[in-house]
Amino acid sequence: METLLEQAFNGLSVGSILLLVAIGLTFTFGQMNVINMAHGELIMIGAYTPYVLQHDFGLAAGLSILLGLFIAFIVAGGVGVAMERGLLSRMVDRPLDTLLVTFGVSLILQQAARDIFGAPNVDVVAPSWLKGSVTLLGVIMPYTRLFIMALVAVIVGGLSVFMARHAEGRRMRAVTQNRDLAAVSGLSPRRVDATTFFLGSGLAGVAGVAVSLIGSIGSQVGSGYIIDAFLVVIVGGLGRMKGTIIAAFALGMLNAYAEFWKNASIGKAIVFMAVIVFLQFRPNGLVSFRTRGLTS
């Protein structure tokens, strides 16, 4: 029983990290149809943010993490907007071209990180209040994992409110559903695209700060998450936040139990097999929107 609970906690923990790295993609990939291969490097920018704050600015570990969340959001968001304005805005409705271009950007950003920070991985010092763990029903729950779960809960809650109730959230949904109609209604799709990309990229930066708490970071820290992030968004249903949340935790749980049953490699293979089988039956993902028309 204890083992079962332990794996459930591991599943939730893996799921929350998956959700964190994937949630930005629900905007850039799911809604804007941009296959952003540089999403991982935006995570990397976020991961290096607390490191820079600690290493170059001498900030205390706790402050560097909390302040890092905001700075990483702004910096990664800014890089994302620069990429969107400079490159991707010329490729509306050409998703395969966005894949190639962002792959190039990803390589450039990785090399830039190696030039600036060096090739070896570095560590972000976790604050003292994140060291240690709490034991509940025999399950050891590290504070870092609980912190990431809480962070995910706050982000998901905030985003849900923003998308449903804020005018800019409504504009983002309108533009992604029908660009031309939005344009002839007086909304500016180009400006809204920039906001959507800023948000999606900024969230990748926030995910990077969380990732820096669970291991060493290097120029390729983000690329390790990119496949998982795309997997979560596709299984969830493109652009559907509810689906992304369910998919992240479902894949996290499956991964945890499969890993426990066999080993990490077989666990990963089982997850991929499950996704392939799932998409045979629900190619549009977990949550899709049905209209009276035939096309959606």
Partner 1 sequence: MSDIIINDIHAAYGRTAVLFGISLEVREGELVCVMGRNGVGKTTLLNAITGLMGLTGGSISFDGKDISKASASARARMGIGYVPQGHAVFPQLTTRENLQVVNERLGKPDKEALNEVIDLFPALASLMNRPAGLLSGGQAKQLAIARALITRPKILILDEPTEGIQPSIIHQIEDTINDLHKATGMTMLLVEQYVEFALRLADRYAVMDGGRIVDTGDTATAEMDRFASLIAI
* CB-based contacts of 179-185 (< 8 A; 24+ apart in sequence): 179/92
Tally helices (H) and strands (E) across the chain: 11, 2
Q: Is 174 in the site for partner 1 (CB under 8 A)?
A: yes
Shortest reach from residue 157's CB to partner 1, in Å = 20
The reply to whether 289 sits near partner 1 by the rule CB under 8 A is: yes
Among 180, 277, 280, 281, binds partner 1 (CB under 8 A): 180
Q: Backbone phi, then psi, for 91, in 5-degree steps?
A: -125, 35
- Among 128, 133, 188, 263, the residue binding partner 1 under the rule CB under 8 A is 188
Q: Can you tell me the distance from the alpha carbon of 275 to that of 240, in angstroms, rounded to the nearest whole number?
A: 17
- Shortest gap between Cβ of 230 and partner 1 (angstroms)? 22
Nearer to partner 1, 119 or 165 (CB): 165
Q: Cβ distance 231 to 251 under 8 Å?
A: yes
Contact flags string 84-123 toward partner 1, x per CB under 8 A = ----------------------------------------
Q: How far is the CB of 283 from partner 1 (least distance, A)?
A: 19
Residue type, 64: S
Would you count residue 170 as binding partner 1 (CB under 8 A)? yes
How near is the Cβ of 170 to partner 1 at its closest, in Å?
Answer: 4
Helix axes 223-236, 39-55, angle to 10 degrees: 130
Q: Which stretch binds partner 1 (CB under 8 A): 46-54, 110-118, 154-162, 171-179?
A: 171-179
The one-letter amino acid at 22: A
Helix, strand, coil percentages (3-state) for the chain, rounded to 5, are: 75, 5, 25
The residues that touch partner 1, with contacts defined as CB under 8 A, are 167, 170-171, 173-174, 177-178, 180-189, 289-293, 296
